[in-house]
Amino acid sequence: MNRREFLKSAAVVSSAAATGVAAPAVWSSASAQSARQETLLLVSESGPNNLDIHGVGTNRPGYEVAWNCYDRLMSYGTKTMPDGTQSYDRDKLVPELAEEWDLKPDSVTFKLRKDATFHDGSPVTAQDVKWSFDRAVSVGGFPTVQMKAGSLEKPEQFVAVDDHTFRVDFIRPDRLTMPDLAVIVPSVFNSRLVQSKATEQDKWGLEYTKQNTAGGGAYKVTKWQSGTEVLFERNDSWKCGPMPALKRVVWRMVPSAGNRRALIERGDADISFDLPAKDFVELDKEGKVKVISNPISNGIQYIGMNVTKPPFDKLGVRQAVAYALPYQKIMDAVLFGLAKPLYGAKSNTVSEPVWPQAHAYDTDIAKAKELMAKAGYADGFETTLSFDLGSAAINEPLCTLVQESLGQIGIKVTLNKIPGANWRGELIKKEMPLISNFFSGWLDYPEYFFFWCYHGQNTLFNTMSYKNPAMDKLIDGARAAAAAADWPTYNKDVDGFIDIAFADVPRVPLYQPYLSVAMQKPITGYQYWFHRQLDYRTLKKG
């Protein structure tokens, strides 16, 4: 997309949203200038494939829709990082739809705001919360597993005491329960609206909410063209926080990284996501726009090997891959230093219960060849390396370097480029033998990450189909120890499951990425969130 096309699109969308009449193709009149001041123009590589966080295979851009268009009972507070940037505070829960709560050993009771309404004007009740939570634990897939991560598993746990009182009964002590109530999945839906759109084959109304927002959050989607743009309008009746400054947000999908950079440099876009690290480094150095970078909490970029797909079922082959990966080349040529290395430690036996942390593998082609020979693959083999085209700015050069490096030990790699809208669905199938992927745990605890990625009972983000009873026992033990505040046992269990992960290496951590965002200097109010998407509610222009 060139500058003229972008300006024309943005002007028409913003004016049409405000007045119902198409605006001029440039920001010229006073009214257009006013609309421009109240409109955020955002560009990114890819967009949502589903507007519902409970939908099957909803991708990460879909999280941004859910976060801004739906309310949760609680949210997280804000803290200032050492570099002066703003971040969510994992240790501070603050009211959102609930005004207050009463936490007891066996339950928590929430008092809901009496003035909260959905986008259609109907009141938000405890019955809506109950229905939404029942839906989350029943639809299966990611939403249900996410709820289970906080021991939220059964509809019987959720009780609408009266119209404005909602209770969650605990089935076990779990320190993740309360923070899990503040992530995206337990969003509150307009149950009457969604039920009116449900069918016998689709009892939870997922087909309707895939295309339409049905919440009461600070924004609502008024237009969505998949792969092209999303238009958000402010909900002027929102009562769950300070009224946002932005009246509308225009989110454009611009596949070309070069075009995204040009749009932010010229001032035609307000915020640009998903640029190559090189662009962020150069933009920051040039100083024309503001670049903010934060380490992604509880997150790693990794090379994953499906342990059910020969020859990756052999430990020696997986270790050979770990020694063949071009770690430093990736850091230098792809990331330009915008990441924390997770390789080259002194030992694979860890001494601290923290995650992420570095493993002891480093690039050693001779060692990798030796391991390949011992595993019976001295002549190598052929395989495919799959990656998400929705994050091509990083994945494509990274996977090209991996392809070249594995070729040195006889592994002939064909790159398999999967469109971003299909990536989550392909992961779930567990058919890809070798992948480049990123995962970050919404709750910043080691046992939470490992519950998702290494536990044998978790079939969603355990992308390697890895099962090890000893690993499962340590993960479960750490969760129980944390709930009981038994920190010596907790530390021992966490050290233990990280040791196993490094020894068995079903996935090889490469680095902990930074989330970088380029924005015009008058933009304020940006803060980093665990879901790695924008929160429009705090953003301001000039």
Spatial distance between the Cα atoms of 444 and 323, rounded to a whole number of angstroms: 28
HEC readout, 230-267: EEEEECCCCCCCCCCCCCEEEEEECCCHHHHHHHHHCC
pLDDT at 31: 60
pLDDT at 424: 86
Are 435 and 288 contacting, i.e. CB atoms less than 8 angstroms apart?
no
Domains of the chain: 3-67+201-295+515-541 (3.40.190.10), 88-193 (3.90.76.10), 299-514 (3.10.105.10)
What pairs with residue 77 in β-bridges?
89
pLDDT at 15: 41
Strand 434-440 and strand 158-162: pairing?
unpaired
Supply φ then ψ for residue 508, to 5 degrees: -110, 105
Cα–Cα nearest to 506, from 430, 442, 401, 445:
430
pLDDT by residue, tens only, the chain of 542 residues = 555 555 555 554 444 343 333 333 344 455 666 678 899 999 999 999 999 999 988 999 999 999 999 999 999 999 999 989 999 999 999 999 999 999 999 999 999 999 999 999 999 999 999 999 999 999 998 999 999 999 999 999 999 999 999 999 999 999 999 999 999 999 999 999 999 999 999 999 999 999 999 999 999 999 999 999 999 999 999 999 999 999 999 999 999 999 999 999 999 999 998 899 999 999 999 999 999 999 999 999 999 999 999 999 999 999 999 999 999 999 999 999 999 999 999 999 999 999 999 999 999 999 999 999 999 999 999 999 999 998 888 999 999 999 999 999 999 999 999 998 899 889 989 999 999 999 999 999 999 999 999 999 877 789 999 999 999 999 999 999 999 999 999 999 999 999 999 999 999 999 999 999 999 999 999 999 999 999 999 999 98
Spatial distance between the Cα atoms of 210 and 206, rounded to a whole number of angstroms: 6
Write down the H helix ranges in 268-356.
277-286, 315-324, 327-329
Spatial distance between the Cα atoms of 120 and 212, rounded to a whole number of angstroms: 12
Tokens read off for 266: 């010229």
CA distances, 264 to each of 8, 212, 232, 269 (Å): 16, 30, 20, 5
pLDDT at 24: 32
CA 91 and chain centroid, separation? 19
